[in-house]
Amino acid sequence: MSSPSDKSASNSQQEGDKPKPCCVCKPEKEARDTCLLFNGQDSGKCDELIGKYKKCMQSYGFTV
């Protein structure tokens, strides 16, 4: 019987070198968040920044 630590080690090996979502696209995320904070989501002023963030995340294999 394998221990929980053995299972987590095998899971991380299966994922490969894929970074955590919180650790990538930091400049894009900060710009998007700042824009949304001051303008709101419904203003439409942040659509370009949101698109850049989504594209960056997708380049790392994340579905946004």
22 is in an annotated binding site: yes
56 is in an annotated binding site: no
Residue recorded with tokens 């904070």: 37
If DSSP states are collapsed to H, E and C, what string results for 7-36?
HHHHHHHHHCCCCCHHHCCHHHHHHHHHHH
Question: Residues comprising the binding site for Cu cation?
Answer: 22-23
Question: Residues comprising the binding site?
Answer: 22-23
